[in-house]
């Protein structure tokens, strides 16, 4: 196994960090690695905002649903889908690009681009012995986040990422077995085999939670998912995205 694969397979989210900021060199390496990701038609449709200001971090931690590690970490990155730059390009080149910029297709492109960049950043950080945690809680209160970070039209904050030196070794969460997610030649639509697979995975996750909590947590993955999905969250997203001038057509 090479070092890259080892790093990838060693992933676990880290939520407690040493009080030790990242160096400028580390930050630059992480962002440069993010930028090295593939990008649809060379569009590079994302921005990354680095947050070091203590008060901004404190406010973001609150806005993200009181997640303390959003405040206490080595560095905080905010990943944004960004077509603002391309709006400026339209002005520079004297072309009306608004139909493209506001389309569902380009919205998907910008979200995909930003996410690929983020995962490169995560791997770069992890390969340097740092820990990371994605923060989707950033989308809890998008209007306030947008105001706090001065985010313009055609930009959508997607998630944050905390990075820093891990305080503890944490356990790894078991993923779905490979054959559950990897279909060969065509999509396996057989519901019965899907249900069997899910039972199989429930046993894996149940013993993971039992072990992690010395028998206290009895939970299955299907139970967890059904619980989560039965409470729809952030149902204002469509409206917010459109207000940002994205996904309108
Ligand atoms: C887009 C995204 C958003 C996430 N948001 C949060 C979050 O707000 N808070 C948090 O503690 N973890 C968050 N996570 C981390 C997931 O909970 C975590 O990746 C998942 O439970 C699997 O655990 P692992 O990363 O340790 O393998 C997020 C992960 C992703 C990919």
**CA nearest 161: which of 192, 195, 194, 117?**
117
- C-alpha 59/C-alpha 78 separation (Å) is 14
Nearest CA to ligand 1 atom 9: 135
Q: Phi then psi for 61, rounded to 5 degrees?
A: -60, -40
What's the chain's length in residues? 249
Distance 37 CA to ligand 1 centre (A): 21
Distance 244 CA to ligand 1 centre (A): 25
Render each residue's pLDDT in the chain as its tens digit; 249 residues. 899 999 999 999 999 999 999 999 999 999 999 999 999 999 999 999 999 999 999 999 999 999 999 999 999 999 999 999 999 999 999 999 999 999 999 999 999 999 999 999 999 999 999 999 999 999 999 999 999 999 999 999 999 999 999 999 889 999 999 999 999 999 999 999 999 999 999 999 999 999 988 888 888 999 999 999 999 999 999 999 999 999 998
Supply the pLDDT for residue 64.
Answer: 98
- Domains along the sequence of the chain with CATH: 3-170 (3.40.109.10), 178-218 (no CATH)
Distance 239 CA to ligand 1 centre (A): 24
- C-alpha 47/C-alpha 59 separation (Å) is 20
- C-alpha 146/C-alpha 204 separation (Å) is 40
Distance 157 CA to ligand 1 centre (A): 16
Q: Is the CB of 159 under 6 A from ligand 1?
A: yes
Residue 166: strand pairing partners: 17
Q: Is the CB of 63 under 6 A from ligand 1?
A: no
Supply the pLDDT for residue 217.
Answer: 85
Q: Is the CB of 12 under 6 A from ligand 1?
A: yes
Atom of ligand 1 nearest to the CA of 158: 1
Nearest CA to ligand 1 atom 27: 12
- C-alpha 185/C-alpha 183 separation (Å) is 7
In the chain, how long is the greatest CA-to-CA distance?
65
For 179-189, letters b (16+ CB in 10 Å) and e give eeeeeeeeeee
Distance 77 CA to ligand 1 centre (A): 15
Q: What tokens were used for 1? A: 């196994």
pTM of the model: 0.97
Dihedral of CA 94/114/124/2: which sign? negative
């Amino acid at each position: 196994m090479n070092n890259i694969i080892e790093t990838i397979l060693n992933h676990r989210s880290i939520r407690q960090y040493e009080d030790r900021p990242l160096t400028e060199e580390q930050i630059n390496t992480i962002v440069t690695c993010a930028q090295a990701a593939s990008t649809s038609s060379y569009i590079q449709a994302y921005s990354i905002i680095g947050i070091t200001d203590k008060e901004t971090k404190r406010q973001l931690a609150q806005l993200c649903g009181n997640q303390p590690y959003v405040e206490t970490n080595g560095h905080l990155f905010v990943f944004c889908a960004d077509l603002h730059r391309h709006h400026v390009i339209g002005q520079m080149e004297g072309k009306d690009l608004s139909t493209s910029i506001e389309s569902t297709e380009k919205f998907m492109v910008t979200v995909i681009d930003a996410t690929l960049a983020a995962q490169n950043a995560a791997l770069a950080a992890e390969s340097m012995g740092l820990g990371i945690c994605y923060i989707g809680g950033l989308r809890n209160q998008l209007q306030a986040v947008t105001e706090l970070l001065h985010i313009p039209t055609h930009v959508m904050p997607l998630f944050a990422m905390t990075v820093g030196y891990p305080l503890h070794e944490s356990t790894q969460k078991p993923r779905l077995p490979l054959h559950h997610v990897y279909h060969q030649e065509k999509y396996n639509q057989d519901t019965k085999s899907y249900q069997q697979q899910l039972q199989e995975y429930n046993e894996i996750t149940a013993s993971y939670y039992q072990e992690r909590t010395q028998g206290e947590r009895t939970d299955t993955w299907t139970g967890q998912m059904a619980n989560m999905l039965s409470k729809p969250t952030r149902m204002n997203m469509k409206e917010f995205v459109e207000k940002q001038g994205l996904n309108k057509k």
